[in-house]
C-alpha cells in the first residue's frame, strides 16, 4: 500500500502517531503565525515597547529611591536639629585644620553701599571656600564614631581608613572633602554635575578623590550619589543638609561676633541653606536682639525663597547662573528647619548684580571671588535689592565672601559682563560711507572722545540702504554712563546714524 492509499485508510487518521504529528504541525503553524505578527511590527513599535519597558524599570528604581529618601527625611525630622552646642563643639574640633579668616573693613565698598561693610574672606581657606569647616567636622565625627579597634589598626599599619565617604557637589564641597579626606586618611568619592567648573573638577582629582561626572545639575548628582552610597557601603555626606556640615558652617558666625561685636546685619549667600542655617544659629544665640540675618540667592535658582512660600522645601527649576555654587534645586530640609528659626528675610539678585560685585571686588579690594561668593555683596551694591533701604543705610554689615574657585575663562566672561553692566563696555552700530577713509573717520572720532576700541566689524551684504554705505559694529571701553552719553551725542552731531545699546 502506497502513501496515498494509506492516507485514505481510516486507521491511518486514527493512529496515535498520526495525531501527534497533527498536533505538532498545528503548534508550528501557531508559532509561525505569532512570528509573522511580530515581524509585521514596525521598528517604531518595537522601539516604543523597549522605551516603555525601560520607563517602567526607571519608575520602579525612582520609587525605591523615593522611599529611601522619605525614610531618611523622617529619621532626620525625628532627630534633634543643629543648635549652638553643636557649633561650639565643631569650633573646637576643626580649629587646628582650617584657617581663621578675619573680617576686614572695606572703605570703598562702605562708601558705595552707604553702610559700614566688613568682608569675611572665606575664599582664603586651603581649598578656596567655607565648605572646609563642615567637611572637616563631618569627617572627624565619622572617625570618632568608628570602632576603637579599627582606629588602633589604622594607627599601627598607617594605612587609610577602611571606610570611605561620598558626596554630590558642584565643586566647593567636593574640594573640601577631598582635601580633608586626604589629610585625615579617608577615601573620598564625589559625584559632580556636568555644569561643575573644570578648575574644581581638576583640583579634586589632584587631592586624590574619585570623580564621577553624572547629572545635569546637583539634584541629579545627589540622587546618583545616594544610590552609590548604598551599593558600595559608603558614608554619604550631604554638602548642605548634614547636621555636622551645618554645625561646621556655623563656626563662621562665632568668628564674626568675635571680630565685629557691634554688627547690625549679616548678609549671607544661600544655596542649599547649610551656611545660613549655621551662621544664623550662632549669630542669634550670641546676639539674640539687635542683629539681623539676611539671605541672598540668585533669581535663577531661588530654592530657599520657594521653600518659604510653600512652608517646606520644594524643587525649583535650575537655570545656569554665575553663582554656580548656589545652584541647588531644593533647599535642605534640616537646614530649612534651622534657618526658619533665625533668618529674618531672603532677597534675590540678578546676573548683572553678581557680575558687578565680582568686578568691584577685583578692582577695589584685589580679591578674586566666584559668583556665588559675591552674591551677598551684590545685594548691597547700587542697583541691588538691599541698596538704599532705610534699615541698611549706616549699619555695620558683615558679608561673607564664601568662595574664590572660578575658572579663568569664566572670570574673563564675568568681568566683561560686569563692565557692560557698568556701561564701561559698550557696543553700538554706526552707518558710514563705504569709500576709502569712511571707517577711518569714525575711529578718529572715537579716539578723540577717549573711547578705547576693543572690536570693530563692518557689514555690507545684509543692509537695506544705499550700496555705498556700510554698517559698522563697534565695541568700545568707556569710563561709565556719563562718558557713554557724551560719545552718543558726538556721533549724532557728526551725522552718524547709530543704533545705541546702553545697559540699564
pLDDT band at 34 (very low <50, low <70, confident <90, very high): low
Is a pLDDT exceeding 70 seen at residue 469? yes
Tell me what the pLDDT averaged over the chain comes to. 85
Residue 472 confidence (pLDDT): 87
Is a pLDDT exceeding 70 seen at residue 380? yes
- CA gap 327, 271 in Å, rounded: 6
Residue 196 confidence (pLDDT): 82
Q: What is the pLDDT of residues 330-358, one digit of tens each?
A: 999 999 999 999 999 999 999 999 999 99
Task: Mean pLDDT check: name the lowest of 63-67, 150-154, 195-199, 331-335.
Answer: 150-154
Q: What is the pLDDT of residues 403-416, one digit of tens each?
A: 999 888 889 989 99
Mean pLDDT value across residues 132-153? 80
CB atoms under 10 Å from CB of 150, counted, come to 13
Mean pLDDT value across residues 272-301? 96
pLDDT band at 93 (very low <50, low <70, confident <90, very high): very high
Is a pLDDT exceeding 60 seen at residue 68? no
Is a pLDDT exceeding 50 seen at residue 12? no
- Three-class DSSP category at 167: strand
Is a pLDDT exceeding 90 seen at residue 257? yes
Residue 33 confidence (pLDDT): 54
Where do the DSSP E strands lie in 260-395? 265-269, 292-298, 345-349
- CA gap 393, 262 in Å, rounded: 15
pLDDT band at 464 (very low <50, low <70, confident <90, very high): low
What single DSSP character describes residue 282? H
Give me the DSSP letters along 5-30: HHHHSHHHHT-HHHHHHHHHHHHHHH
Q: Is the pTM of this model over 0.85?
A: no
Residue 450 β-bridge partners = none
What domains can you pick out in the chain, each with its CATH number?
76-126+246-417 (3.40.50.1100), 131-236 (3.40.50.1100), 423-500 (3.30.70.260)
Mean pLDDT value across residues 6-34? 54
pLDDT band at 8 (very low <50, low <70, confident <90, very high): very low
Closest CA to 239 of 316, 310, 327, 315: 327
Is a pLDDT exceeding 90 seen at residue 359? yes
Q: Helix 43-78 and helix 333-342: axis angle, to 10°? A: 50
Q: What is the pLDDT of residues 189-234, one digit of tens each?
A: 999 988 787 878 889 999 999 999 999 877 788 899 999 999 999 9
- CA gap 26, 465 in Å, rounded: 82
Answer whether 277's CB lies under 8 Å from 333's CB: no
Where do the DSSP E strands lie in 263-420? 265-269, 292-298, 345-349, 396-401
Residue 1 confidence (pLDDT): 45
Residue 236 confidence (pLDDT): 95
Is a pLDDT exceeding 70 seen at residue 129? yes
Check residues 392 and 462 and name the one with the higher pLDDT.
392
Residue 5 confidence (pLDDT): 46
pLDDT band at 120 (very low <50, low <70, confident <90, very high): very high
Answer whether 326's CB lies under 8 Å from 270's CB: yes
Residue 2 confidence (pLDDT): 46
Residue 31 confidence (pLDDT): 52
Mean pLDDT value across residues 285-303? 96
- CA gap 100, 161 in Å, rounded: 28
Mean pLDDT value across residues 455-475? 78
Residue 153 confidence (pLDDT): 57
Amino acid at each position: 500500500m502506497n502513501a496515498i492509499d494509506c492516507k485514505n485508510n481510516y486507521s491511518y487518521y486514527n493512529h496515535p502517531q498520526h495525531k501527534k504529528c497533527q498536533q505538532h504541525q498545528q503548534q508550528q503553524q501557531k508559532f509561525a503565525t505569532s512570528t509573522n505578527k511580530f515581524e509585521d511590527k514596525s521598528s517604531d513599535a518595537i522601539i516604543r515597547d523597549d522605551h516603555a519597558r525601560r520607563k517602567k524599570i526607571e519608575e520602579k528604581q525612582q520609587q525605591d529611591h523615593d522611599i529611601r529618601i522619605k525614610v531618611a527625611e523622617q529619621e532626620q525630622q525625628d532627630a534633634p536639629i543643629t543648635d549652638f552646642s553643636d557649633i561650639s563643639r565643631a569650633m573646637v574640633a576643626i580649629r587646628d585644620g582650617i584657617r581663621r579668616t578675619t573680617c576686614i573693613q572695606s572703605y570703598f565698598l562702605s562708601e558705595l553701599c552707604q553702610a559700614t561693610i566688613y568682608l569675611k574672606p572665606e575664599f582664603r581657606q586651603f581649598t578656596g571656600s567655607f565648605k572646609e569647616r563642615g567637611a572637616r567636622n563631618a569627617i572627624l565625627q565619622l572617625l570618632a564614631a568608628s570602632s576603637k579597634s579599627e582606629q588602633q589598626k589604622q594607627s599601627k599599619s598607617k594605612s587609610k581608613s577602611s571606610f570611605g565617604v561620598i558626596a554630590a557637589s558642584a565643586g566647593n564641597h567636593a574640594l573640601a572633602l577631598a582635601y580633608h579626606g586626604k589629610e585625615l586618611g579617608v577615601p573620598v568619592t564625589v559625584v559632580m554635575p556636568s555644569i561643575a567648573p573644570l578648575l574644581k573638577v581638576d583640583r579634586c582629582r589632584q587631592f586624590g578623590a574619585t570623580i564621577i561626572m553624572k547629572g545635569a545639575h546637583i539634584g541629579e548628582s545627589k540622587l546618583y550619589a545616594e544610590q552609590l552610597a548604598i551599593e558600595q557601603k559608603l558614608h554619604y555626606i550631604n554638602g548642605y543638609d548634614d547636621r555636622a556640615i551645618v554645625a561646621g558652617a556655623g563656626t563662621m558666625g562665632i568668628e564674626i561676633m568675635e571680630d565685629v561685636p557691634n554688627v547690625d546685619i549679616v548678609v549671607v549667600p544661600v544655596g542649599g541653606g547649610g551656611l545660613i542655617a549655621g551662621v544664623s544659629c550662632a549669630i542669634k544665640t550670641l546676639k539674640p536682639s539687635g542683629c539681623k540675618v539676611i539671605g541672598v540667592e540668585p533669581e535663577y535658582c531661588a530654592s530657599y525663597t520657594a521653600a518659604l512660600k510653600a512652608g517646606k522645601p520644594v524643587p525649583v527649576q535650575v537655570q545656569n547662573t554665575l553663582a554656580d555654587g548656589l545652584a541647588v534645586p531644593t533647599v535642605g530640609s534640616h537646614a530649612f528647619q534651622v534657618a526658619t528659626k533665625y533668618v529674618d528675610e531672603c532677597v534675590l539678585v540678578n546676573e548683572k548684580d553678581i557680575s558687578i560685585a565680582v568686578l568691584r571686588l577685583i578692582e577695589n579690594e584685589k580679591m578674586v571671588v566666584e559668583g556665588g561668593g559675591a552674591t551677598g555683596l551684590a545685594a548691597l551694591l547700587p542697583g541691588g535689592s538691599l541698596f538704599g533701604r532705610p534699615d541698611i543705610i549706616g549699619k555695620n554689615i558683615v558679608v561673607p565672601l564664601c568662595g574664590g574657585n572660578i575658572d579663568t575663562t569664566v572670570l574673563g566672561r564675568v568681568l566683561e559682563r560686569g563692565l557692560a553692566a557698568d556701561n564701561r563696555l559698550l557696543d553700538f552700530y554706526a552707518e558710514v560711507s563705504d569709500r576709502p577713509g569712511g571707517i577711518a573717520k569714525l575711529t578718529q572720532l572715537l579716539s578723540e572722545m577717549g573711547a578705547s576700541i576693543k572690536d570693530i566689524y563692518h557689514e555690507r551684504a545684509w543692509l537695506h540702504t544705499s550700496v555705498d554705505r556700510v554698517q559698522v559694529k563697534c565695541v568700545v571701553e568707556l569710563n561709565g554712563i556719563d562718558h557713554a552719553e557724551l560719545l552718543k551725542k558726538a556721533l549724532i552731531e557728526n551725522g552718524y546714524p547709530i543704533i545705541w545699546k546702553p545697559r540699564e
